[in-house]
Amino acid sequence: MDPPGRDRAEELRALLARPPFEVTGITDAAIHLYDRALTHRSYSNGGEYPAAVAEDYERLEFLGNYILDFIIAEHLYTGYDLQPGEMNRRLQVTRNTKLAEIVRLQGLGIDRAVRRRGQVLTDSIIADAFEALIGAIYLDRGLDAARSVVIAIFEDEIADCDTDRNYRGRLQEHVSRKNLGYLEYTFRQTGPGSCPTWVARVSVGGVPSGEGEARTKQAAAMIAAREALIRLGKG
């Protein structure tokens, strides 16, 4: 496969410079690695499979899949006092359908960057490209950098599995149980496009009840929900 052209290289550098990746100073050799991570086999060999040489994401996806699972498993082991069965349940945040949902919900941009030819963009392709990108980050920057990216993306997903830390879920349950009215979140993005910050506000029954600021919409909403619970005497 030909090396990425200037426009493609600039697209990838811009994507990776943004949170939660924050990978900058990418060399020309490494940009080829990231390009491969976001290239489907239909683009690299016209849809014929297998091919003698196909620089698509499949080998990187294999590596990234295990790195992703390792990082989440390590985080669950060191950060939570859980039995193996419960750790395994929470590890399901890395299943393919969930990965595609996370990519879209967090606006990671991976779905828009996957190169393909004559191929519908499925959840499976998005998930595979996500894993391949984690593999590429690991090869280019090492385990610590990959760990930082993965935890930044998944910290709220993991917390959602924890009934004590799932403030949004707890607020929803309390509002419904007490018939406090309509629960509404609003979001506002601030800061430069290369390093945005999200501000979330939550209203209960039309009354502003909490505000949170974070690097992701999910984290900001979680902080806002926690503040609302405190104001409602349930913090």
The residue-averaged pLDDT of 56-69 equals 96
pLDDT per residue over 199-225, tens digit each? 999 999 999 999 998 767 777 888 899
Integer CA distances (angstroms), 58 to 49, 51, 192, 194, in order = 12, 12, 34, 29
pLDDT of residue 5: 84
CA-wise closest residue to 164 among 76, 232, 80, 101: 80
Q: Are residues 151 and 202 in the same domain?
A: no
What percent of the chain is predicted at pLDDT more than 90? 56
Which backbone phi and psi does 34 adopt, to 5 degrees? -65, -35
What is the tally of structural domains in the chain? 2
pLDDT per residue over 116-157, tens digit each? 999 999 999 999 999 999 999 999 999 999 999 998 898 877
Full residue range of the structural domain in which residue 213 is found: 167-231
pTM greater than 0.85 (yes/no): no
pLDDT per residue over 93-118, tens digit each? 888 778 998 999 899 999 999 999 99
Angstrom distance (rounded) from CA 54 to CA 45: 6
Q: Are residues 82 and 191 in the same domain?
A: no
In eight-state DSSP terms, residue 3 is: P
Q: Are residues 39 and 107 in the same domain?
A: yes
CA-wise closest residue to 219 among 134, 130, 157, 150: 157
**Is residue 133 within 8 Å of residue 34, measured between CB atoms?**
yes
pLDDT of residue 195: 63
Of 99, 125, 160, which one is at a domain's C-terminal end?
A: 160
In eight-state DSSP terms, residue 92 is: G
Q: Are residues 136 and 25 in the same domain?
A: yes
How many CB atoms are located within 10 Å of the residue 98 CB? 15
Q: Which helix (H) or strand (E) holds 26?
A: none
pLDDT per residue over 148-175, tens digit each? 999 889 887 776 666 566 788 788 889 9
Q: Are residues 52 and 148 in the same domain?
A: yes
